[in-house]
Amino acid sequence: MVDKKRVILNASSTVAQVIITSCLYFFLYKLLLNKVGASMLGVWSLIVTTSSIANLANFGITSGLVKFVAEYSVDKEKDKGHLQELVFTSLVTLVVFYAIVTILISLLATVILKIVITAEYLQIGKELLPYSLLCLFVNGCGGVFVSVLEGFQKNYIRNIIYSVGSLVFLLISWILIDNYQLKAVVFAQVIQSLFIFLLCMFFCLRQIGTNLFNSWKWNSNIFKSIFNYGIKFQFISVSQMLYDPITKTLLGKYGGLQVVGFYEMASRLVWQVRGLIVNANQIVIPIVASASKTNKNAIKEIYQKSLSIILMVAIPLMCFIVLFANIISYYWIGHTEIAFTLSLYLLCASMFINIISGPAYFGCLGEGKLNFVLVVHISMAIINVILGFILGHLIFKYGVIWSWSISISAGSITTIFLYQKLHGISYFSSFTWKDNFLLLIAFLICGFIIGIYHYFLLTIINSIILSCSTFVLIGFIIFFFKRDMIMQLLNLKNNRTVI
């Protein structure tokens, strides 16, 4: 049985955490634009992207740990001693792996940075990279404790810690930026990482026992299990890692650092909104992992319910970004920036499809079925690289954004198709005629509004009126067609279990 109140608490706290983080990033990017400019924002984005190579050391262990903790927690033969061995083995493994990869990247820093950053900004890149690598090392190792909390479905604790950590990040950046410029951001990141690491470790130890480090608890059998599962996931992660670095590197090559900076802002906004849904949906991983052990028939029902709810939420959220793109640009950047608004439009379209694939993707992770997910992600990475060069050359800077949008859309559609085929789920049992009608209406309305903004020079007041009234119309249409589901969600507190 799944505790519905726990699911609601985790989902709602995840949504709250993403909203808080999104608001804080809004002020952070505004601060950076005013203090250091779009080009330096682009430099920071590329540094973070470059240092993310250190995530190669993860080997998918933290992602697999969520599944294993969930399984251990429902296995009556597993006690806290087994859980401590699992956590200790994972932590030691990641400390060693991350240390090796971080050292290698540090030694090759000059070569790597010359590829992604122009000579003008190379020196500042060298100064910032060590701090960014330190953040990734701390975050990577701390991911063990985060995964334990998620495995026990204590996502709400993680969400509170992440929200406070984001606030710490913004405050320190604001305090230091006048004296340290861009370095203030990486200093703040280091402090934020340590803050999250220590608090997550504290709550994790409360869950599994404070004597975790009293003795050597390495278990070679556990290592083999998490490594064998994680290595497949790591190939997926490596493919994902190619998305952002390749896209931003090609964008810098064909469009310049300013375009990278504006793309970074658009991407961050869309990913934060995406996180409202995807991170909330991620809580199904331990649920599916438990169901795969005790009630396999529940998996199909979990998928269909998740998909139905996500579709209803995703439509208004993504429509909101499209409708208010020009207004967001005006207040965030100071003017309507085409590199920013076009990035928003393309990313919204592709991320919407990606959001819809969430239940299939997380269902695979929970069931441990990673083979076709691996193939999909590798294909997406290859397509993104090839299309990035081709479209970047043909359409200049915006072609790179097009290539990424096409790649993620194709991969997401493939994931949905393969997962539904695996479980014998038909398209029409997942997407009703109401769902298809809402998709069509949302597409037509957004396309119409984009056309108006493109062909007519509206004042900011008229733009706000038009966008608000259109969004209210979309909300009314969704409520009219989905009112039964909305009422069910509002009445969830009256029931204790999902299944």
Nearest alpha-carbon partner for 338 in 259, 446, 393 = 259
Q: Where are the domains of the chain?
A: 4-494
Residues 133 and 190: their CA atoms lie apart, in Å, by 9
Query: Helical H runs in 75-121?
Result: 80-107, 109-116
Encoded tokens for 92: 């030691």
Amino acid at 424: G
In the chain, % of residues over pLDDT 90: 6
Residue-averaged pLDDT of the chain: 79
pLDDT at 197 over 90: yes
Other CB atoms within 10 Å distance of the CB of residue 168: 17
pLDDT at 10 over 90: no
| Over residues 197-206, mean pLDDT | 91
| Over residues 81-87, mean pLDDT | 82
Greater model confidence, 262 or 424: 262
Greater model confidence, 215 or 304: 215
Q: What is the pLDDT of residues 103-130, one digit of tens each?
A: 888 888 778 777 777 777 788 888 888 8
Q: Which of 70-74, 79-83, 198-202, 366-370 has the highest average model confidence (pLDDT)?
A: 198-202
Residue pair 471/478 in contact (Cβ under 8 Å)? The answer is no
Residues 112 and 95: their CA atoms lie apart, in Å, by 23
pLDDT of residue 493: 47
pLDDT at 251 over 60: yes
Task: Supply the DSSP string of 317-376, one letter for each residue.
Answer: HHHHHHHTHHHHHHHHTSS--HHHHHHHHHHHHHHHHHHHTHHHHHHHHHHT--HHHHHH
Residue pair 438/478 in contact (Cβ under 8 Å)? The answer is yes
Residues 482 and 438: their CA atoms lie apart, in Å, by 10
| Residue 90 banded pLDDT, cuts 50, 70, 90 | confident
Range of weakest confidence among 79-83, 122-126, 269-273, 340-344: 79-83
pLDDT of residue 388: 82
Q: What is the pLDDT of residues 298-327, one digit of tens each?
A: 666 777 777 777 888 788 888 888 899 989
pLDDT of residue 254: 78
pLDDT at 331 over 60: yes
pLDDT at 88 over 80: yes
Alpha-carbon 82 to chain mean position: 30
Encoded tokens for 222: 């556990």
pLDDT of residue 194: 93
Task: Supply the DSSP string of 470-497, one letter for each residue.
Answer: HHHHHHHHHHHHHHHHHHHHHTGGG-SB
Nearest alpha-carbon partner for 236 in 24, 59, 477 = 59
Greater model confidence, 21 or 466: 466
Map residue 431 onto helix, strand or coil: coil
Map residue 296 onto helix, strand or coil: coil
| Predicted structure pTM score | 0.63
| Residue 496 banded pLDDT, cuts 50, 70, 90 | very low
pLDDT of residue 196: 92
| Over residues 413-424, mean pLDDT | 82
In the chain, % of residues over pLDDT 70: 80
